Amino acid sequence: MKALVTARMNPADLARLTNAGFEISTSGYGVNGEKLTEAELIAELADKQIAIVEFEPLTEKAIASAKHLKLLACCRNEPGANVDLTYAAQIGIPVLFTPGRNAIAVAEYTMALLLAVARNIPTTHHLLRYTDELTAQSSAGSTRTSEWSLEPGAPFQRFEGVELFGKTLGIIGFGAIGQQIASRAKAFGLNVIAFDPYQNQEVFRECGVEKLELNEVVTKSDFISMAAKVTPQTTGMFSREVFTLMKPSAFFVNTARAALVDYEALFEVLSANKIAGAALDVYPAEPLAENSKLRTLPNIVLSPHLAGSTAEVKVHHSKMVVDDILEIQKGNSVKRVADSEVLAKFLKSGGLL
């Protein structure tokens, strides 16, 4: 059975597929960092039964052209980002995916951004590394050389931050990423509360996190972290009205998706100093425009969509996908599939046999 792999993959897991009898062809983003065009993808899929992608778009046209295709795997949290799930379901092709593949990476990055915005780390690094603004400060009349000036306007007073310990973190969305953020936040001594109407109460209990309604989370939190998926119900959920509920001393962090948030309202509350600050890794349009208003704000930390970018992410998603393909090869069902009913019918009709 032939498989096309365009995702970044751990060689050890590709070897597991080869040892199980699959003939592997690699191409596209996983090989050279460049996505295949639709025409190139169609040509590559011509004789393949399985496709494992990460960023290449599996459109209706691409899927329909692959006459031998039986199974798709998308190495992402949300396979609908680049796979036509509706069409795949219509023609009976199961789509595997990798929920939580970057949960650890995003959680660690979220904590880094919390610290960065609370302690002014990026601002002071930039001033010290690229300007003379902070090196011009001196301890006049002092023989000590181990400290900057303590005078008004000196770094010690100008960039005084706030501690995480004893504060409250509100997490919006309590799936794999939200849960990983919570465990790390607790290590910093943060009290953690969260909003997720779709998550089981038992999960909250096991994590030691209080489940509250959105408005309650927002009003009680000193830090807010977005960790929800984008759905018709969650799009724009953090609206202008919700921002007005935040404490003036609170910080807002978004390492999830920009579509969850009214960014115009966020700009307004930041520019009016109605909240203390924000740290963002995602934007309504990416790359962030050179003339973006967000770049004019002094109380913001900006990052170019890096929260999920670690060397280990491909190791995580490789194991997930290969584990599931090998289970399906045996005729067994798996949980990480976009439509369980499609998979059930697929297995009943013979699966990969």
Q: pLDDT (tens digit, 9 = 90+) per residue, 218-249? A: 999 999 999 999 999 999 999 999 999 999 99
Whether the upstream peptide bond of residue 287 has omega within 30° of 0, thus cis, is: yes
Q: Does the pLDDT of residue 92 top 80, yes or no?
A: yes
Specify whether the CB–CB gap between 336 and 77 falls below 8 A.
no
- Fold for the domain defined by 103-120+161-302: Rossmann fold (3.40.50)
Cα–Cα nearest to 53, from 19, 21, 20, 88: 88
Cα–Cα nearest to 7, from 329, 313, 334, 333: 313
What is the reported pLDDT for 43?
98
What is the reported pLDDT for 143?
52
Q: Does the pLDDT of residue 147 top 80, yes or no?
A: no
Burial of 286 (0-12, 13-18, 19+ CB in 10 A): exposed
> Mean of the pLDDT values across residues 169-181?
98
What is the reported pLDDT for 139?
52
Q: pLDDT (tens digit, 9 = 90+) per residue, 291-300? A: 999 999 999 9
DSSP type of residue 345: H
What is the reported pLDDT for 137?
58
Q: Does the pLDDT of residue 313 top 70, yes or no?
A: yes
CATH placement of domain 2-101+311-348: 3.40.50.720
Confidence of residue 67 (pLDDT cuts 50, 70, 90): very high
Lowest mean pLDDT among 5-14, 154-163, 257-266: 154-163
- Among all residues, which ones are annotated catalytic? 257, 286, 305
What is the reported pLDDT for 154?
86
Confidence of residue 151 (pLDDT cuts 50, 70, 90): confident
Cross-strand partners of 226:
172, 254
In which element (H, E) is residue 5 found?
Answer: strand 2-5
Q: Does the pLDDT of residue 174 top 80, yes or no?
A: yes
What is the reported pLDDT for 138?
55
What is the reported pLDDT for 121?
98
> Mean of the pLDDT values across residues 278-289?
98
What is the reported pLDDT for 165?
98
Lowest mean pLDDT among 130-144, 259-273, 336-350: 130-144
Lowest mean pLDDT among 49-58, 135-144, 211-220: 135-144
| Higher local confidence (pLDDT), 141 or 291 | 291
Percent of the chain past pLDDT 70, that is, above it, reads 97
What is the reported pLDDT for 128?
93
What is the reported pLDDT for 148?
80
What is the rounded average pLDDT for all residues in the chain?
A: 96
* Contacts of 298 by beta carbon, 8 Å cutoff, 6+ apart: 123
> Mean of the pLDDT values across residues 5-28?
98
CATH 3.40.50.720 range(s) for the chain read 2-101+311-348, 103-120+161-302
